[in-house]
């Protein structure tokens, strides 16, 4: 059968209310005094907000207050956050108050990867809230320390934490690179740990200035095969995430019409000195930062050497072992990677990313039961993580635990009701267990959730057609398979098209048996025949 794991997260938003507008005012730069991480966290808490759907659990994100005029406050967030929260979203401020959004302006189209993923929201309140001071993101050099402050959802969309109960997360990290022409403006990369719900979260420099807007968590995607031969995908966490530099927002000020608020910008020189950190590493931290920069550049062997030096100076850093594990895995040393992830977990028992990646590596080594155990540990920490349920299902399928596989896909869907790939996979395994109706229901749901031009739409049609053929619903099966073949052909997926077209040929023969069977066989150099 056929499968493609691709999932789309970026679709056009709907405009809500009056467009929000801002005037940019750059005030004389004052000299800066270095701030402690605690001071930065305290200040970040006052300006960072939640962006929530009107119905709890239907969408979530973060944002930052950048301006105030009278009773009107302006929030900068990611455009896809506004898309996710839908109509009538609300802003929740640090004091627990919830405010309806009064205006929205996108600063780019989510249909165009060249546009930044930025949006402005406004709300009104009698309360006196502080605003963030914007910095010069051009000063944030590679190796500079940054801090991400946002509101993650640990527990899935249906968890109580998907609503007002979310707790803030303050995540330090270091800039590892700037990527030219990155999609949607996400050019600023760093190793700070981020989670779902932190899209739109502010990124601060060591002086407490807003220098970026977080919105992209990176994972490497790799194809795997389930026990039944189906192709699924499981993702390993790279340890890197990305933000849109605040300079990108400032460059868009020509799009921000009629002033309703003032934005403060301070461009004084930073108190950070990343060049010294990288050029003359001495401490464990210096070698660690050097290593993650080298990792981001693809210099895996150099990164391993730097991490060796970092661990020699500080053998109690779980992060150093985690990143060395990633580097070792990328160099093909899977056993060494597992040893490093294991040590990271010993030092940090709830290190979910280390469990997650160790589970992935164990899967690639065909240690499927151990992989199941690692993914189970991730779920102990984050009990409604849809992606992890999906991954555990893949591992269970290799153990021929089809009931457990279906149960995990079901849990993935409960945590993420629009999880298209989970519907498709659950449909396949339901079919293998003889639950034809359940399989058809799952494929139908996937078809409803996907645009009729997408690969997953075609895949779901193909699979529904195959089930319908096997239960002798031949006209309905033929319609599904013909639509799937047409879509595969339009998409240029030749192998998929040939397989679907071959099924159409044999179905036509079966339907027209004793009448006038078709004589023109589809042009398939390697007919797949019919599968059960």
Q: Look at 18 and 458; give whichever has higher pLDDT.
A: 458
CA angle 89, 92, 95 (to 5 degrees): 165
- 449-476: per-residue pLDDT in tens? 999 889 999 999 999 999 999 999 999 9
User: Residue 243 pLDDT more than 90?
Assistant: yes
The CATH code of the domain at 281-349 is 1.25.40.10
Q: What is the pTM of this model?
A: 0.77
Pull the structure tokens for residue 322.
């985690």
User: Residue 532 pLDDT more than 70?
Assistant: no
Count CB atoms within 10 A of the CB of residue 472. 9
Q: Look at 210 and 223; give whichever has higher pLDDT.
A: 210
User: Residue 498 pLDDT more than 70?
Assistant: yes
Q: How far apart are CA 142 and CA 278, in angstroms?
A: 9
Q: Look at 326 and 385; give whichever has higher pLDDT.
A: 326
User: Residue 177 pLDDT more than 60?
Assistant: yes
Q: For 97-151, what is the HEC assignment? A: CEEECCEEEECCCCCCCCCCCCEEEEEECCCCCCCCCECCHHHCCCCCEEEEEEC
Is residue 138 within 8 Å of residue 32, measured between CB atoms? no
- 213-242: per-residue pLDDT in tens? 998 876 544 434 444 344 445 555 667 889
User: What are the C-alpha distances in Å from 58 to residues 348, 369, 390, 520?
Assistant: 32, 34, 20, 50
**What mean pLDDT do residues 201-209 have?**
95
User: Residue 49 pLDDT more than 70?
Assistant: yes
Backbone torsions φ then ψ of 117, nearest 5 degrees: -85, 65
Q: Look at 408 and 381; give whichever has higher pLDDT.
A: 408
Going by pLDDT thresholds of 50, 70 and 90, the confidence category of residue 512 is confident
- 275-314: per-residue pLDDT in tens? 888 888 999 999 999 999 999 998 999 999 999 999 999 9
User: Residue 83 pLDDT more than 50?
Assistant: yes
**What mean pLDDT do residues 163-185 have?**
86
Calculate the average pLDDT of the chain. Answer: 84
Q: How far apart are CA 52 and CA 98, in angstroms?
A: 9
Q: What is the pLDDT of residue 86?
A: 79
| Site of tokens 């048996």 | 513
**What mean pLDDT do residues 355-378 have?**
96
Kindly report which listed range (243-257, 362-376, 440-454) carries the lowest average pLDDT score.
243-257
Q: How far apart are CA 15 and CA 75, in angstroms?
A: 16
Give DSSP secondary structure letters for 442-502.
HHHHHHHHS-TTSHHHHHHHHHHHHHHHHTT-HHHHHHHHHHHHHHHHHTT-HHHHHHHHH
Do 281-349 and 352-363+380-511 fold alike per CATH?
A: yes
Is residue 215 within 8 Å of residue 196, measured between CB atoms? no
Q: What is the pLDDT of residue 181?
A: 83
User: Residue 109 pLDDT more than 90?
Assistant: no
Q: How far apart are CA 312 and CA 422, in angstroms?
A: 44
Q: What is the pLDDT of residue 56?
A: 65
Select 23-280's CATH number: 2.40.10.120, 3.30.465.10, 3.40.50.720, 2.60.40.420. 2.40.10.120
Is residue 22 within 8 Å of residue 67, measured between CB atoms? yes
Q: What is the pLDDT of residue 236?
A: 57
* 352-363+380-511, CATH topology level: 1.25.40
Domain residue extents for the chain:
23-280, 281-349, 352-363+380-511
Going by pLDDT thresholds of 50, 70 and 90, the confidence category of residue 530 is very low
Q: What is the pLDDT of residue 251?
A: 86
């Amino acid at each position: 059968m056929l499968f493609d794991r691709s999932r789309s997260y970026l679709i056009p938003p709907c405009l809500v209310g009056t467009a929000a507008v801002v005037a940019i005012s750059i005030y004389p730069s004052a000299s800066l005094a270095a701030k402690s991480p605690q001071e930065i966290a305290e200040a970040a808490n006052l300006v960072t907000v939640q962006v929530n759907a009107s119905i709890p659990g239907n969408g979530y994100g973060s944002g930052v207050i950048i301006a105030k005029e009278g009773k009107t406050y302006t929030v900068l967030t990611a455009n896809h956050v506004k898309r996710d929260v839908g109509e009538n979203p609300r802003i929740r401020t640090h004091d627990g108050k919830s405010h309806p959004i009064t205006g929205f302006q996108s600063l780019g189209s989510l249909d165009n990867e060249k546009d930044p993923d930025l949006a402005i929201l406004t709300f009104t309140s009698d309360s006196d809230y502080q605003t963030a001071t914007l910095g010069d993101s051009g000063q944030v050099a590679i190796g500079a320390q940054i801090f991400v402050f946002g509101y993650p959802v640990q527990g899935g969309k249906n968890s109580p934490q998907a609503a007002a109960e979310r707790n803030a997360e303050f995540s330090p990290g270091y800039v590892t690179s700037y990527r030219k022409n990155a999609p949607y403006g996400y050019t600023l990369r760093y190793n700070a740990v981020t989670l779902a719900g932190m899209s739109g979260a502010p990124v601060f420099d060591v002086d407490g200035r807003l220098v970026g807007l977080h919105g992209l968590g990176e994972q490497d995607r790799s194809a795997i095969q389930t026990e039944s031969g189906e192709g699924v995908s499981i993702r390993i966490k790279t340890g890197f995430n990305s933000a849109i530099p605040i300079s990108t927002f400032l460059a868009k000020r020509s799009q921000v019409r009629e002033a309703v608020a003032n934005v403060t910008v301070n461009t004084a020189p930073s108190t950070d000195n990343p060049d010294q950190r990288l050029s003359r590493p001495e401490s464990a931290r210096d070698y660690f930062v050097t290593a993650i920069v080298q990792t981001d550049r693809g210099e895996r062997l150099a990164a391993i050497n730097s991490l060796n030096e970092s661990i020699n100076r500080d053998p109690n850093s779980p992060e150093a072992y985690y990143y060395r594990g990633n580097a070792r895995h990328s160099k093909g040393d899977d056993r060494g990677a597992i040893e490093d992830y294991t040590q990271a977990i010993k030092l940090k028992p709830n290190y979910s990313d280390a469990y997650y990646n160790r589970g992935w590596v164990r899967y690639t080594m065909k240690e499927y039961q151990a992989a199941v155990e690692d993914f189970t540990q991730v779920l102990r920490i984050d009990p409604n993580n849809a992606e992890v349920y999906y991954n555990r299902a893949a591992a269970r399928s290799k153990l021929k635990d089809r009931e457990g596989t279906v149960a995990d896909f079901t849990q993935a869907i409960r945590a993420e009701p629009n999880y298209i790939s989970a519907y498709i996979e659950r449909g396949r395994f339901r079919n293998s267990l003889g639950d034809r109706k359940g399989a058809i229901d799952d494929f139908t749901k996937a078809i409803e959730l996907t645009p009729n031009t997408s690969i997953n739409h075609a895949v779901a049609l193909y699979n529904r057609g195959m089930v319908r053929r096997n239960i002798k619903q031949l006209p309905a099966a033929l319609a599904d398979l013909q639509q799937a073949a047409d879509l595969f052909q339009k998409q240029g997926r030749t192998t998929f098209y040939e397989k679907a077209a071959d099924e159409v040929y044999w179905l036509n023969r079966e339907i027209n048996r004793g009448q006038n069977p078709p004589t023109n066989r589809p042009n398939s150099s390697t007919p797949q025949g019919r599968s059960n």
